[in-house]
Amino acid sequence: MNKISFLFIILLCSLKLSFASEVSAITDFNSSAYLGTWYEIARLPNTFEKKCSIPIIANYSTNPDNNEQLIVTNQCTIENDKLNIANGNANFVSSTTIGKLEVTFLPKWLRWLPFIYGDYWVLYTDYDTVSVVGSPNHEYLWVLSRTKSLNYDVLAKAILIAQDQGFDTSKLIFNYQSESQVNESI
């Protein structure tokens, strides 16, 4: 990514758009195509990833005991190059074809509690390159990629999708998953 492209993305993110009243998850979700590894490219600030550094990776697989539940494994590097791994479950809210899920990373013995789940809505995905995931209250947002870096045009499209859904993208934190990405943007 060259300097001009990077500056355009920063400018795009800083636009103040009015917040949409509702967030819409995709209604043709294909969980089988979504499975696998995704790299975090950008996110809104949150407390549970505050100490994370790259690479930040999420892996999704089907629960062999419940085909309407996904197993989620998130990992990142924290201080002293220690690997931090969080294992959780994602349950479909209404249907396996609607990208509305609720996820928890709390211990299994606490997962019966109804208030420990967070919203994880797939707002857009092409399954092969990029996904935009957020929460209906606009508090959480992630741009995920199948690879450690993301083409400028694809990233710009993902940011516009988030803005169209009312997210304040001026607060996005960008994660450079590879050294070449950092060098290209400087």
Output the pLDDT for position 161. Answer: 97
Task: Tell me the mean pLDDT in the region 83-96.
Answer: 94
Per-residue pLDDT at 167 exceeds 70: yes
Helix, strand, coil distribution of the chain in percent, nearest 5: 25, 35, 35
Q: What pLDDT is recorded for position 111?
A: 77
Query: What is the pTM assigned to this prediction?
Result: 0.83
For residues 171 and 71, is the Cβ–Cβ distance under 8 A?
no
Q: How large is the average pLDDT for residues 111-125? A: 89
Q: Out of 7-16, 34-43, 62-71, 169-178, which region has the weakest mean confidence (pLDDT)? A: 7-16
Quick check: 100 pLDDT over 90?
A: yes
For residue 81, what pLDDT band results from cuts at 50, 70 and 90? confident
**How high is the mean pLDDT of the chain?**
86
Burial 89-114 (b: 16+ CB within 10 A, else e): bbbbeeeeebbbbbbbbeeeeeeeee
Determine the average pLDDT of the residues in 90-106. Answer: 94
- Rounded to 5 degrees, φ, ψ at 58 are -120, 135
Q: For the chain, what percent of residues have pLDDT higher than 90?
A: 68
Positions of E strands within the chain: 36-43, 53-63, 66-78, 82-92, 100-104, 118-125, 130-134, 141-145, 173-174
Q: What is the mean pLDDT of residues 88-117?
A: 90
Q: What pLDDT is stored for residue 115 in this prediction?
A: 76
pLDDT at 2 over 70: no
CATH number at 3-179: 2.40.128.20
Inter-residue contact 145 to 125 (CB < 8 Å) = no
Radius of gyration (C-alpha) of the chain in whole angstroms? 16
pLDDT given for residue 13 in this prediction: 45
CA distance 53 to 15: 26
**Residue 157, pLDDT score:** 97
Average pLDDT over residues 5-31: 64
What is the pLDDT confidence band of residue 177, given thresholds at 50, 70 and 90? low
Domain boundaries, the chain: 3-179
